[in-house]
């Protein structure tokens, strides 16, 4: 078997095995599962290390010994000035010399939304999967670094395919293939980078929220945002809704995209697999904690567009400043900042910051790829595409848009949820929230 095909096969098998382990672990409810607790993390750590080592040492050393050639489009000429030859050589045997990259970190950030060290790490990890596939009947003979560069440049800048083709000195068809193949590889083989935490991991998530606000047992913030896409049939701009759940560090725990953007957030939630999994006890099913005499199960927090449920806490309406309900709202809003920051960071990717010229399914794959890369940057402590200032992400608070569909369910679940929220409000009353930066309510 060709070394590239073998490398890709092994890398893909490891990725799928990791995903299977996560699914098996999350499906275990009250019964102790042999993959539970620390055993799972040891296994995942082993396979992640194995995959990383395999991609960056064994597979990379084989492929990088091959001669790198550039599939040059006949109409394209050299582009870029003041290029750093050493950097270009490091990123693919001179393939990226046309980009005008320099040692200035801002240059890499503007081109790829990541540091050069992250780019190199990612290229090593993805190399066997990027190089193993070419268009039918058209061998590209492009390095993994160049393929990755083309795909990332499309995601980072949102430039059109003709513009990217000219800049990289390849044909437009090659540009399309590389960009779409990168999204396919990320969404197919590395979905575990955006996976809902195991019960053990959720303990750490909830502890972080509790240390921040005083509210116990919170396992994430849910929000919904829209990305625009140009309808290929009539040229009109439509929107795609994406529902995200994040932790206090803005790491994406779950993302579900592909809904029509004109649907309200509550309808999208109730149509999602996340809603079904929680309602049927497959997620957020750990033992409750007792707060002021009330059993509080694991829950998410969301804005007023969502219904109040035993596992979904929304803010109080019409509260008085300084009251228990008002202090709960301050803490609640402070928690929601992590979701707004995530949404703003996703829209820092140029392709998501303007209407996408993509088919609907391809646009959904773009959203998924950018979400995976968002978590990769957090894991790598690379802030190149992350929003830090409040002014950068406050504009993404869409709590007053797309309709408020009622915050209280008129059934026993709604009554139970109201009792839980009252207990949490009483709990947060004793917490000093002045440091949360929530402002007045």
Among 192, 225, 241, give the residue marking a domain's end: 192
Write down the residue that tokens 């003979």 correspond to: 141
The whole-angstrom separation of Cα 394 and Cα 373 is 22
Q: Please tell me whether residues 235 and 327 are part of one structural domain.
A: yes
Beta carbons of 43 and 21 less than 8 angstroms apart: yes
Beta carbons of 194 and 187 less than 8 angstroms apart: no
- Is residue 300 in some structural domain? yes
Q: Please tell me whether residues 139 and 121 are part of one structural domain.
A: yes
Q: Please tell me whether residues 129 and 214 are part of one structural domain.
A: no
pLDDT at 68: 39
The whole-angstrom separation of Cα 181 and Cα 178 is 5
Tokens of 157: 């800048």
Q: Please tell me whether residues 184 and 301 are part of one structural domain.
A: no
Beta carbons of 340 and 396 less than 8 angstroms apart: yes
- Is residue 376 in some structural domain? no
- Is residue 165 in some structural domain? yes
Domain count, the chain: 2
pLDDT at 432: 52
In three-state form (DSSP H/G/I as H, E/B as E, the rest C), the secondary structure along the chain is CCHHHHHHHHHHHHHHHHHHHHHHHHHCCCCCCCCCCHHHHHHHHHHHHHHHHHHHHHHHHHHHCCCCCCCCCCCCCCCCCCCCHHHHHHCCCCCCHHHCCCCCHHHHHHHHCCCHHHHHHHHHHHHHHHHCCCCCCCCCCCCHHHHHHHHHHHHHHCCCHHHHHHHHCCCHHHHHHHHHHHHHHHHHHCHHHCCCCCHHHHHHHHHHHHHHHCCCCEEEEEEEEEEEEECCCCCCEEEEEEEEEECCCCCEEEEEEEEECCCCHHHHHHHCHHHHHHHCCCCCCCCCEEECCEEECCEEECCCCCCEECCEECCCCCCCCCCHHHHHHHHHHHHHHHHHHHHHHHCCCHHHCCCECCCHHHHHHHHHHHHHHHHHHHHCCCCCCCCCCHHHHHHHCCCCCCCCCCCECCCHHHHHHHHHHHHHHHHHCCCCCHHHCCCCC
Q: pLDDT in tens for each of the 441 residues of the chain?
A: 544 445 455 555 655 555 555 445 444 444 444 344 444 444 444 344 334 333 333 333 333 433 333 333 323 332 233 333 443 444 444 445 455 555 566 678 888 999 988 999 999 999 999 988 888 777 888 889 999 999 999 999 999 999 999 988 899 999 999 999 999 999 999 999 999 999 999 999 999 999 989 999 999 999 999 999 998 778 899 999 999 999 999 999 999 999 999 999 999 999 999 999 999 999 999 999 999 999 999 999 999 999 999 999 999 998 888 889 999 999 999 999 999 999 999 999 999 999 999 999 999 999 999 999 999 999 999 988 888 765 544 555 555 443 444 444 446 678 999 999 999 999 987 765 444 444 444
- Is residue 400 in some structural domain? no
Ramachandran area for residue 406 (φ above 0: left; ψ -120 to 50: alpha; else beta): left
Q: Please tell me whether residues 261 and 313 are part of one structural domain.
A: yes
Q: Please tell me whether residues 107 and 230 are part of one structural domain.
A: no
Among 192, 222, 242, give the residue marking a domain's end: 192
Q: What are phi and psi of 300, to 5 degrees?
A: -110, 165
pLDDT tens-digit map of 124-140: 999 999 988 888 777 88
- Is residue 212 in some structural domain? yes
159: number of Cβ within 10 Å: 17
Q: What are the CA-CA distances from residue 7 to residues 151, 227, 419 (Å)? A: 21, 35, 55
Q: Please tell me whether residues 129 and 237 are part of one structural domain.
A: no
Among 162, 192, 222, give the residue marking a domain's end: 192
Which residues, including other chains, have CB under 8 Å from residue 20's CB and lie 6 or more apart? none
- Is residue 91 in some structural domain? no
Structural domain containing residue 119: 96-192
pLDDT at 313: 97
The whole-angstrom separation of Cα 312 and Cα 332 is 12
Q: Please tell me whether residues 217 and 290 are part of one structural domain.
A: yes
pTM for this predicted structure: 0.77
pLDDT tens-digit map of 95-124: 454 555 555 666 788 889 999 889 999 999
Tokens of 199: 């019960």
Q: Please tell me whether residues 180 and 226 are part of one structural domain.
A: no
- Is residue 234 in some structural domain? yes
């Amino acid at each position: 078997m060709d070394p590239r095909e073998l490398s890709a096969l092994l890398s893909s098998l490891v990725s799928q095995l990791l995903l299977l382990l996560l699914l098996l672990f999350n499906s275990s409810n009250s019964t102790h599962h042999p993959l539970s607790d620390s055993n799972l993390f040891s296994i995942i750590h082993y396979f992640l290390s194995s995959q990383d080592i395999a991609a960056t040492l064994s597979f990379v050393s084989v492929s990088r010994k091959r001669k790198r050639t550039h599939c040059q489009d006949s109409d394209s000429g050299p582009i870029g000035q003041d290029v750093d030859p050493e950097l270009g050589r490091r990123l693919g045997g001179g393939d990226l010399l046309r980009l005008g990259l320099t040692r200035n970190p801002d240059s890499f950030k503007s081109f790829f939304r990541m540091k050069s060290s992250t780019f190199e790490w990612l290229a090593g990890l993805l190399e066997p999967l990027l190089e193993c596939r070419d268009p039918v009947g058209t061998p590209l003979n492009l390095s993994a670094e160049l393929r990755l560069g083309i795909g990332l440049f499309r995601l980072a800048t949102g430039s059109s395919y003709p513009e990217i083709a000219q800049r990289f000195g390849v044909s437009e068809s090659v540009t399309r293939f590389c960009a779409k193949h990168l999204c396919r590889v990320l969404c197919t083989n590395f979905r575990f980078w955006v996976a809902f935490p195991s019960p053990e991991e959720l303990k750490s998530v909830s502890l972080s929220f509790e240390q921040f606000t005083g509210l116990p047992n919170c396992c994430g913030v849910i929000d919904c945002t829209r990305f625009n896409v140009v309808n290929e049939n009539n040229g009109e701009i439509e929107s795609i809704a994406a529902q995200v759940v994040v932790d206090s560090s803005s790491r994406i725990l779950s993302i579900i995209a592909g809904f029509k953007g004109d649907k309200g957030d509550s309808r999208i939630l109730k149509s999602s697999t996340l809603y079904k999994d929680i309602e049927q006890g497959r997620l957020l099913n750990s033992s409750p904690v007792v707060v002021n005499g009330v059993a509080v199960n694991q829950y998410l927090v969301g804005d007023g567009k969502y219904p109040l449920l035993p596992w979904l806490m929304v803010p109080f309406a019409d509260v008085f400043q300084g009251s228990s309900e008002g202090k709960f709202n301050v803490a609640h809003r402070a928690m929601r900042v992590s979701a707004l920051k995530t949404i703003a960071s996703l829209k820092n990717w140029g392709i998501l910051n303007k209407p996408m010229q993509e088919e609907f399914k391809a646009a959904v794959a773009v959203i998924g790829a950018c979400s995976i890369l968002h978590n990769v940057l957090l894991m790598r402590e690379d802030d190149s595409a992350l929003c830090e200032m409040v002014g950068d992400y406050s504009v993404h608070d869409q709590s007053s848009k797309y309709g408020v569909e009622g915050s209280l369910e008129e059934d026993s679940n709604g009554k139970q949820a109201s009792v839980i929220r009252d207990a949490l409000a009483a709990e947060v009353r004793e917490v000093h929230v002045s440091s949360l930066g929530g402002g007045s309510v």
